[in-house]
Amino acid sequence: MNDITLEIVQNDTHTKVTNLLKKVTVSGRRGDAPRTLSATISDSEQFARAPANSGEGQQVFFYLGKDEIFRGLLMTDSRSSERTLTIKAYDNCIYLCNNKGSFSFKNKTATYIFKYCLKKLGLPLGSAVNTGHVIGELIKKATTYWDVIEDALSQTYRSTGIRYYVCSEKGKIYLRKREEQSQMPVLSLDGNVISYDMSRSIYNTRTRLKLITSKGKSKGSTVNSSLEKKIGKFADVQTVDEDITKTELKRKLRVFERDSSVISNELKISASGDMRCVSGKCAYVQISPINTKRIMFIEEDTHTFENGNHKMDLKLSYEKTS
């Protein structure tokens, strides 16, 4: 049995509704700002009913043992004739998604843009790594704060080959570098893996890239000859600034070779639950029938708590580590 606790909080009054729980799901995905919690709760007059009301600014807290797994704003509640209450909560990154503005940045890093967005919205900063890369210009009109941050992180990745991700923990928001952890969970058929599904595709694969300026001047190119001999020619053309440096050109070509000039692999796993397995982090995967024995990054995670059991469904990428 999992030692779980679910609380609904309003005006510092914490109401535990654990004894009414039927099912809880906590999930997240790389590229989405907030993590979410969904819960199905008994709603009968035979018991003290859960005081859920999404119009009252209530918070939802979820614990596994003494560890806080989730905290966020209750945004949806619905009651049915089946005497069940369904709630959905989002962590405070939802404010980045549900607020719009107009933005203009020149010669700023993604770190600066991330901190600026949090400050404008009055959101608590945990910490932010230094992304280093200076973005020449980023202008956005009538768009969400999250879109601005994602654009800055995407531009940084295309220039440096390093991924960063945003997450919320215990009410504070962090900007972190996606990298291997010194200690990570192991996913194996001999241990916790229940089922797996590996797929491979060349639909988005490109074998060659040409970089040109807006005036059509060539700035660089690359060809994956060995792959092209096998699958044929798939070419891409991208526009770059006139004053792009040789270092930036090399980085862009490296990112292309790493992301686009490869066969796309994806692995989905169902396993017994481990809350260390969340999007943005990594795990060591050992599944011999598909020749997989390596560190993999978690792109999506869904953790389900039901009938005393904890199960997780993960989507992992074969992307090389930074």
Assess contact for 39 and 86: CB atoms under 8 A. yes
Closest C-alpha among 89, 102, 90, 92 to residue 144: 102
Whether the pLDDT of residue 40 is over 90: the answer is yes
Domain 186-201+264-317 has CATH 2.40.30.150: yes
CA angle 255, 256, 259 (to 5 degrees): 80
Average pLDDT in the 191-205 region?
95
Q: List the beta bridge partners of residue 70.
A: 62
Average pLDDT in the 171-199 region?
93
3-state secondary structure of 182: coil
| pTM exceeds 0.85, yes or no | yes
Distance CA 40, CA 89 (A): 12
Average pLDDT, the chain: 93
DSSP state of 189: T
Whether the pLDDT of residue 47 is over 80: the answer is no
**Neighbour count for residue 52 (Cβ, 10 Å):** 24
Q: Where are the domains of the chain?
A: 4-91, 95-177, 186-201+264-317, 208-259
pLDDT at 254: 87
Closest C-alpha among 81, 90, 71 to residue 5: 71
HSE of 77, CA atoms in CB hemisphere, 13 A: 18
Where does 95-177 sit in CATH, by number?
3.55.50.10
Consecutive H or E run containing 264: strand 264-272
> Which of 54-63, 96-105, 157-166, 168-177 shows the lowest mean pLDDT across its residues?
157-166
pLDDT in tens, 229-278: 999 999 999 988 888 888 888 888 888 988 899 998 899 999 999 999 99
168 CB-near residues (< 8 Å, 6+ apart): 34, 35, 72, 91, 92, 93, 174
Closest C-alpha among 179, 168, 178 to residue 33: 168
Residue 176 confidence class, pLDDT cut points 50, 70, 90: very high
pLDDT at 161: 84
Paired tokens of 213: 């300026």
Homologous superfamily of the 4-91 domain (CATH): Baseplate protein-like domain - beta roll fold (2.30.300.10)
Residue 57 confidence class, pLDDT cut points 50, 70, 90: very high
pLDDT at 246: 86
pLDDT in tens, 81-113: 989 999 999 999 999 999 999 999 999 999 999
pLDDT at 240: 87
pLDDT over 90 percentage in the chain: 78
User: Residue 156: which region, alpha, beta or left (left: phi > 0; alpha: psi -120 to 50)?
Assistant: alpha
pLDDT at 321: 55
Average pLDDT in the 4-8 region?
96
pLDDT at 1: 47
Distance CA 170, CA 43 (A): 28
pLDDT in tens, 72-82: 999 999 999 98
H helices within 87-232, ranges in order?
94-97, 110-121, 145-160, 225-231
pLDDT at 238: 92
Paired tokens of 55: 């119009």
